Amino acid sequence: MYRFAVLAAAAGGLIACAQPSKPTTTATTPPAASAAPAGPSDGSSEEGRLAADTVIASWKGGKLTYGELTGAHASELRKLRNKFKNDLYNVERQRLEATVVQKLVQAKAKAKGQTEEQYVDAEVGTPTVTDKEVKDFHQSNPRIKEQPFDQLAPRIRSFLEQQKKQEAMLSFFERVKKEAGVEINLPRPQLEKAEFDLAGRPSKGKDDAKVTIVEFSDFQCPYCSKAVDGVEALLKAYPDDVRVVFMHYPLSFHKEALPAAIASQCANAQGKFWSFHDQVFANQSSLTAAKFEEYAKGAGLDMDKYKACVVDPKTAEFVRKDMDQGNDAGVEGTPSFFINGEPYSGGVPSADAIKSYLEG
């Protein structure tokens, strides 16, 4: 039986820049209470596992209740519960789509007297990789460009052929679903919400939009750059119903991300954040203080105010507060998205995901 693992594997969405450890912040206090969801009204703990007043440890002169434990680690436990629900949903969704496509392909293959593999291979065809593509890949990959091209060329060609074949198969599977009028009705799980302080954060869309998307982003992360077009597409698709709020989450191993975040916040202080944002993401290979000043001038900023803002400790503190909020909400990489407070896995939220919030 032909395997549709390629479809399931690709359904995971946009890859993210992962944080190996939490960003270093100046916070020395427990997570803000606003980031934790309200507890159930019946006195039970989150998810109803135990009553909040259940004593789970005791010693001479003291005791600890389940509510005290979960309250002290609310952010971490919420993140784990949401992750479990999301992981389960993603697997169900991947298997569902793969199963539907397989049934459609089985019917088409049977009608033509072919096996599933024969039918798919005939529809997808054999990808062609040019010598130029092989050379370009070799030269654009820093890890291998210094190695002999002739030795690596066959392996590069094979890799590119497989990549093209996978892309062609995914395109074919999407076409099969569209032709069959497939509708996926698997509901997303109900996730525990986080609350964010959005005051002073740059946003696009109407303030009273039904859906607020909070994006935690890193100016040096290539996947954040790729997400820009998807976010713009959502805003164009739902101009009255979607608001996107940008929050900073510079990763510790991206050395220019924090300076870029600080510079962008100074642009935000003068109402020019999005112009600066677009310039930085369009030029990720040139993240320097000199370039940031160039973008600031191009955006028409008052340069005296900009330079004073960049070195003002309050600006860096503002960025770190975004990072603290991200940590409290369970952010582990970028880009990370939250829809009306619920974490959304799979990259830029899809139009279907937004539709479910508008209809809910």
- Decide if 344 is inside a domain: yes
The tally of domains found in the chain comes to 2
Print the domain residue range for 142: 1-26+50-192
* 171 CB neighbour count, 10 Å cutoff: 11
The structure tokens 């954060």 sit at: 201
- Of 226, 252, 267, 234, the residue nearest 320 (C-alpha): 252
Whether residues 315 and 278 fall in one domain: yes
φ/ψ bin of 273: left (φ > 0), alpha (ψ from -120 to 50), beta (otherwise): alpha
**pLDDT at position 39, please?**
41
Whether residues 219 and 248 fall in one domain: yes
Whether residues 64 and 117 fall in one domain: yes
**pLDDT at position 47, please?**
56
Whether residues 180 and 252 fall in one domain: no
**pLDDT at position 356, please?**
79
Whether residues 213 and 183 fall in one domain: no
- Decide if 45 is inside a domain: no
> Domain ends where: 192, 219, 253?
192
**pLDDT at position 2, please?**
54
Amino acid code (one letter) for 150: D
- Decide if 36 is inside a domain: no
Task: Report residues of the chain scoring pLDDT below 50.
Answer: 1, 11-13, 21-46
- Give the whole-angstrom CA distance, residue 1 versus residue 32: 53
**pLDDT at position 346, please?**
77
- Decide if 283 is inside a domain: yes
- Of 330, 355, 352, the residue nearest 341 (C-alpha): 330
- Decide if 4 is inside a domain: yes
Whether residues 145 and 234 fall in one domain: no
> Domain ends where: 158, 192, 226?
192
CATH of the domain at 239: 3.40.30.10
**pLDDT at position 187, please?**
87
**pLDDT at position 3, please?**
54
Sign of CA dihedral 80, 85, 88, 89: negative
Tokens of 193: 């919400």
- Decide if 112 is inside a domain: yes
Whether residues 57 and 188 fall in one domain: yes
Whether residues 355 and 274 fall in one domain: yes
Beta strands 211-217; 242-248: pairing state: parallel
- Decide if 113 is inside a domain: yes
**pLDDT at position 36, please?**
38
- Decide if 224 is inside a domain: yes
Whether residues 333 and 269 fall in one domain: yes
Whether residues 163 and 217 fall in one domain: no
Buried b (16+ CB within 10 A) or exposed e, 204-234: bbeeebebbbbbbbbbbbebbbebbebbeeb
Whether residues 127 and 208 fall in one domain: no
> Domain ends where: 192, 214, 242?
192
Whether residues 15 and 164 fall in one domain: yes
- Vertex 24, ends 20 and 25: CA angle to 5°? 140
**pLDDT at position 359, please?**
78
